[in-house]
Structure 1
Amino acid sequence: MSELPGPDLVERARAIAPLIAREADEIERTRRLTPSVVAALIENGFYRALLPQSLGGAEVSIEAFMQMLEEIAKADASTAWCLGQCSVCAMIAASLDRDAAQEIFNTAPGILAWGAIAHEARAVAGGYRVTARWDFASGSRQASWLGAHVRILSADGASRKNADGSPEVRTILFPAASATLHDVWQAIGLAGTGTDSYEVSDLFVPERFTAFRDVPSGLRETGPLYRIGTGAAFSLGFAAVSLGVARATLDAAIALAREKRPSLTAGAMRDNGAVQGLIGRTEGDLRAARAYLYATATAMWRDLCATGEFGATHRSAVRLAATWTIHQSTKVVDTAYHMAGATAVFRSNPFERRFRDMHAIAQQIQARDSHYEDVGKAIVAGG
């Protein structure tokens, strides 16, 4: 596939948003992205946004990636969440054996998904053997390959250690057909992500299908994108998803205010001073959150391109901006939902699903309150 520059991806995202919006109810009902949506995401190169150019990916800037997700999220949060998850997973191609990366990402559909770190794999001749089950694999129902982050045991069962004494953790990759998927995602929000569990039994994973995730010394690619690491990319991407959900929900409330005449009141919502003031303050909150998130990402990217370094200061800044943005976006959605009154509770209107999706986003690791403590600790220490 030819290179797709960042702005082109953003425009493509806007162009297919109507298709995704039309499919949103079916995505919610089936708890899966629909075939037509998956086909559109593949055809437009969205899953390859963060894949290295050397493998035919777009390798866009982090800001272009965020804008792409924000546009998709305005149409459907579940679609944007799956796309964000699988796109960031593709960043591991920068650390993989080249032939292995070609096999994974350039054999259709070329989509990788993984869940949370858990369990262990035992080193054997030529690779690793593992029996385990993992959770939270958003996008796994579209994926052709799955991954898992595991602690490594030596052949004698002893835990292998890094030079600093910490446990050695590798990411292992294997065809989705090698795993059993368990349909467990019965959630109040992001229902369409199909964030299911998956397991393997006595699976052999060749060495070349493993990598050290987010370890700069293991990078095969030199582009600045891969210095960021998947943790920060997930944070910025999912914060952008929250902005898209908040924007769409507030826009729906504004559109409702222009037309609605609440029962037992004399005038239209649009003429109500309290409603006007609430819209103004909430619009300011949303614009401030978006400006802060993108300013942080832009400053980080500028420094990274100039120095090649993504250090603790950048990591802390990204964590704070992403966490705060998700929390602010949740407040915006809550305000818009309450502003809509009884209209918001009906599934036929554009509030109820976005309210649930936003609160599901706010429960994820990227929005933990403990991130404020981590950042505060660094600030107090002079970092």
Structure 2
Amino acid sequence: MADVLDRVIDRARGMRELVRAEAAESERLRTLSPRIVEAMWASGLMSSFNPVAAGGVEPSFSEMIDTWIEMAWQDGSFGWIGIANLPSTFAAASYLPDEGFAEVFTKNDNHVTIGGQYFPNGQGTAVDGGYRLTGAWNFGSGTGHSAYIGAGFFPMDDGEMRWVSEGIPDMRVAFLPRAEVIFTDGWHVQGLKGTGSYDYNVTDVFVPDCRTIPLFTRDAVRGNSPAGRMGLMPVTAAGHASFALGVAKSMLDDVEELAATKVRMSDMATLASRQTFQKGLAHHVAAWRAARLLVLDAFGVAESAVESGEELTPRLRADMRLAAVYATDTARAAAEWAHLAAGTTAIREGSRLERAFRDIYTGTQHAFIGEKVAMDVAQIWLGLIDDQFGL
């Protein structure tokens, strides 16, 4: 697997100089700059997480995690695109029926980027051959350069919600050609400005059933990696953890470099010579390393279980989600410390520290790694509930 690791991570590492040079332009455009998007395609990074049939290399979770950390270390918006477009395209390529896969991927020589919002903010009236879809979605990450847009919805039969089990409604994701979607933008935000996370809507648009997938499916139609048999939720959780870890590492690295020369008013001693700085750096770097190892362990254990044919139990899913929450909390604390330690250097517009601080506090507002997840996990551990289907 080392060759896969090198191929995937090296595709990201090779973009360091370009991403740094284009970061301000992406923020100005409020979507990833065309030069970065083109380079992602030229390097093969854009399709790398896909099944082989869709132009990918089917990396392991450890390879995905370290690639995402690298991307977020370079720039928060670039990292967020990595955890938005790459999993979205992976899901469509893995789970679409053959007819839908042929339309979306094969017809386009696998040169397809997908972004959007998978939460079911729409309703799809069941009709012959598919659904009539109406809905409005916010925060469609990566839609600024996506050829197809993902849109979560509730299937409706004769005006009634469809249920898959007691208390759990059916939820699906439709993949819509860009031309069929109305974008209303709305992406005027504090951080992650370069992600093109636009609002969008559709009204009574027909979507064939072959261009939809169940939101929580783990039945991969193509691909041999365990990730395809684990579903979109673990991949999404790994992405959120990696994003936070990557941005925090960029701030820890930058403040460590700054410490050799940085002095504060009324104190000519450098940051590096201050014992309080030394203690803080040691603590947060160690905490960061521990959080990364926890993420690798939780996702690696679950991946190995699935690869050996075992069930992806609620406990395994809970452990992965909690690792993502813990890594996010640890990364946020490290970022806050680095921002304070850097002083006025961290507030100057255009600096990596300033942009990273805005990015991590924007990205970690996401409900996917919120406190309710930790409470759901604890309830499973305590035996108060058997499962939480959203984990």
TM-score norm. by structure 2 comes to: 0.92
**Residue equivalent to 1:224:** 226
Secondary structure class of the residue paired with 2:174: strand
Give the counterpart letter for 2:210 in structure 1: R
**Residue equivalent to 1:130:** 133
**Residue equivalent to 2:261:** 259
**Residue equivalent to 2:246:** 244
**Residue equivalent to 1:143:** 146
**Residue equivalent to 1:276:** 278
Give the counterpart letter for 2:132 in structure 1: R
What is the CA–CA distance in structure 2 between the aligned matches of 1:217 and 1:271, rounded to whole Å? 56
- Number of residues of Structure 1 aligned to a counterpart in Structure 2: 379
- C-alpha RMSD of the superposition: 1.8
Give the counterpart letter for 2:257 in structure 1: A
What is the CA–CA distance in structure 1 between the aligned matches of 2:236 and 2:78, rounded to whole Å? 15
Q: Does residue 80 in structure 1 map to residue 83 in structure 2?
A: no
Task: Between 195-204 and 90-99, report the one with greater CA deviation.
Answer: 90-99
- Please point out which of 159, 178, 181 is paired with 2:180: 178
**Residue equivalent to 2:11:** 12
What is the CA–CA distance in structure 1 between the aligned matches of 2:95 and 2:271, rounded to whole Å? 55
Secondary structure class of the residue paired with 1:185: coil
Shift, 1:215, TM fit: 2.0
Shift, 1:38, TM fit: 0.3
Give the counterpart letter for 2:74 in structure 1: A
Secondary structure class of the residue paired with 1:117: strand
What is the CA–CA distance in structure 2 between the aligned matches of 1:243 and 1:265, rounded to whole Å? 32
Q: Does residue 214 in structure 1 map to residue 216 in structure 2?
A: yes
What is the CA–CA distance in structure 2 between the aligned matches of 1:24 and 1:53, rounded to whole Å? 31
Counterparts in 2 of 1:46 and 1:102: CA distance versus 1, 3 Å: farther
Q: Residues 218-367 of structure 1 correspond to what in structure 2 (within 5 A)?
A: 219=221, 221=223, 223-367=225-369
User: In 2, are the aligned partners of 1:31 and 1:191 still within 8 Å (CA)?
Assistant: yes
Secondary structure class of the residue paired with 1:48: coil
What is the CA–CA distance in structure 2 between the aligned matches of 1:95 and 1:261, rounded to whole Å? 55
Task: Between 167-176 and 103-112, report the one with greater CA deviation.
Answer: 103-112
Give the counterpart letter for 2:16 in structure 1: A
User: In 2, are the aligned partners of 1:188 and 1:360 still within 8 Å (CA)?
Assistant: yes
**Residue equivalent to 1:99:** 99
What is the CA–CA distance in structure 1 between the aligned matches of 2:296 and 2:219, rounded to whole Å? 28
Give the counterpart letter for 1:269 in structure 2: L
User: In 2, are the aligned partners of 1:151 and 1:170 still within 8 Å (CA)?
Assistant: yes
**Residue equivalent to 1:161:** 163
Counterparts in 2 of 1:102 and 1:14: CA distance versus 1, 3 Å: same
Counterparts in 2 of 1:370 and 1:99: CA distance versus 1, 3 Å: same
User: In 2, are the aligned partners of 1:123 and 1:152 still within 8 Å (CA)?
Assistant: yes
Deviations 1:337-373 (A, max 9, x none): 0001112111143211111111112100232011121
Counterparts in 2 of 1:281 and 1:161: CA distance versus 1, 3 Å: closer
User: In 1, are the aligned partners of 2:314 and 2:380 still within 8 Å (CA)?
Assistant: no
What is the CA–CA distance in structure 2 between the aligned matches of 1:372 and 1:167, rounded to whole Å? 23
- Please point out which of 152, 155, 167 is paired with 1:152: 155
Counterparts in 2 of 1:266 and 1:215: CA distance versus 1, 3 Å: closer
Give the counterpart letter for 1:207 in structure 2: D
What is the CA–CA distance in structure 2 between the aligned matches of 1:50 and 1:213, rounded to whole Å? 18
**Residue equivalent to 2:124:** 121
- Please point out which of 196, 199, 208 is paired with 1:197: 199
Secondary structure class of the residue paired with 1:321: helix
User: In 2, are the aligned partners of 1:95 and 1:221 still within 8 Å (CA)?
Assistant: no
User: In 1, are the aligned partners of 2:24 and 2:350 still within 8 Å (CA)?
Assistant: no
What is the CA–CA distance in structure 1 between the aligned matches of 2:188 and 2:320, rounded to whole Å? 31
Task: Between 176-185 and 52-61, report the one with greater CA deviation.
Answer: 52-61
TM-score norm. by structure 1 comes to: 0.94
**Residue equivalent to 2:30:** 31
Task: Between 136-145 and 58-67, report the one with greater CA deviation.
Answer: 58-67
User: In 1, are the aligned partners of 2:95 and 2:219 still within 8 Å (CA)?
Assistant: no
Secondary structure class of the residue paired with 2:70: helix
Secondary structure class of the residue paired with 1:187: coil
Secondary structure class of the residue paired with 2:125: strand
Give the counterpart letter for 1:125 in structure 2: D
What is the CA–CA distance in structure 2 between the aligned matches of 1:299 and 1:324, rounded to whole Å? 17
What 5-or-longer segments of structure 1 have no aligned partner? none
Counterparts in 2 of 1:342 and 1:311: CA distance versus 1, 3 Å: same
What is the CA–CA distance in structure 2 between the aligned matches of 1:208 and 1:25, rounded to whole Å? 40
Shift, 1:333, TM fit: 0.4
Task: Between 164-173 and 261-270, report the one with greater CA deviation.
Answer: 164-173
Structure with the largest fraction of strand:
2
Counterparts in 2 of 1:147 and 1:188: CA distance versus 1, 3 Å: same
What is the CA–CA distance in structure 2 between the aligned matches of 1:105 and 1:82, rounded to whole Å? 20
- Percent identity at matched positions? 27
What 5-or-longer segments of structure 2 have no aligned partner? 387-391
Shift, 1:161, TM fit: 2.6
Task: Between 21-30 and 334-343, report the one with greater CA deviation.
Answer: 21-30
